[in-house]
Amino acid sequence: MKRVRTGILCLVLVLGAGASGQADKANAQSPNPAPYLAQQPPGLTAEPFAPGRVSSPGYEYGGVFSPDMDAFYFIRGDEEGHAQDFVVFRYEDESWRETVLSPRVGQPFIAPDGATLHLGGRYMERTDAGWSEIHSLGQPFDDIQIMRLTASSAGTYVFDEIGSADGDGVLRYSRLVDGVREAPRPFNAAINTGSFNAHPFIAPDKSYILWDGRRTSGFGGSDIYISFRQADGEWGAAINLGEAINTPAWEASASVTPDGRYLFFHRMIQPADGDGLPDVDIFWVDAQILDTLRPD
């Protein structure tokens, strides 16, 4: 399978366009007959996603589908060192084709309307030719070291922070009200509890938030939690996704596919050996597992 390596400048031109030069179709039902990279969907037992194509004895992280479900973006690490590539599988000409787009430029997330590709504290906008150049979110976001940022359909950002003395492990949100971006605010203590919280995902309708955190009551180094939005608008107690998802290993960076059918998350299979990257795989499971945790 041919891989095309490009620089950051070329990323602007090819990231969102297929061989025909057309961008991914936002908010459309994917017509392809081989969804999810032609993989057999899992049930309520989590399985590695696309073994041999995506998940492998190496580093695969940050997996997300485009809203039309015709493109799958993720980060792949070099087994021999720390180099990481930004990779896409795109369905075109009746098959899934892989392209290495560039070196890693941030953890990807595509907004529900398909118009913005978030890369942590930076982003790209969809254009007629594909994607724009990379932009900064501006202040006050430039002062926050964001690993992952996701957005709801209404434009609410949720994001983490790493590396600052007073922000490590704090999850924040920023609403878009009448076209004006509000200043970031921390979530309540139901979410911001424990020694570290990171990699949040907000449902498009803002009905729940997924994230990973470290708590003394957890299964291991990092577990995935969910909080459901209550009738009064407040966020409910953090619920551990349980032993069907969490293990003594590191589980992190969960999200639900744009069609709402599958939960994707990441698990460390083997810690780093020497100077290399750890063995991290992308897992998926039927999203019905979340409904079993929803309070009555």
- What count of Cα atoms within 13 Å lies in the side-chain half-sphere of residue 33? 2
Read off the amino acid at residue 212: D
What pLDDT, on the 0 to 100 scale, is given for residue 8? Answer: 43
* Total number of domains constituting the chain: 1
What pLDDT is recorded for position 164?
A: 67
What pLDDT is recorded for position 166? 61
pLDDT in tens, the chain (296 residues): 434 444 444 454 344 443 333 333 334 455 667 999 999 999 999 999 999 999 999 999 999 999 999 999 999 997 666 789 999 999 999 999 999 989 999 999 999 999 999 999 999 999 998 889 999 999 999 999 999 999 999 999 999 998 766 666 899 999 999 999 999 999 999 999 887 899 999 999 999 999 999 998 889 889 999 999 999 999 999 999 999 999 999 999 999 999 999 999 999 999 988 778 999 999 999 999 999 999 87
The answer to the question of residue 24 being in a domain is no
The answer to whether residue 176 is domain-embedded is yes
Q: What is the CATH number of the domain that holds 275?
A: 2.120.10
Res 169: pLDDT: 83
Which H helix or E strand runs over 9? helix 8-14
pLDDT for 24: 39
pLDDT of residue 226: 98
Question: Is residue 101 domain-resident?
Answer: yes
Residue 162, C-beta contacts closer than 8 angstroms, at least 6 positions apart: 145, 146, 147, 168, 198
Is 1 a member of any domain? no
What sign for the dihedral angle of Cα 161, 166, 170, 176?
Answer: negative
Residue range of the domain that includes 203: 8-18+40-291
Would 26 be classed as within a structural domain?
no
Residue 12 has what pLDDT?
A: 45
Q: CA-to-CA distance for 127 and 202, rounded, in angstroms? A: 25
- What pLDDT is recorded for position 274? 75
Q: Is residue 296 part of a domain?
A: no
Looking at the domain assignment, is residue 31 inside a domain? no
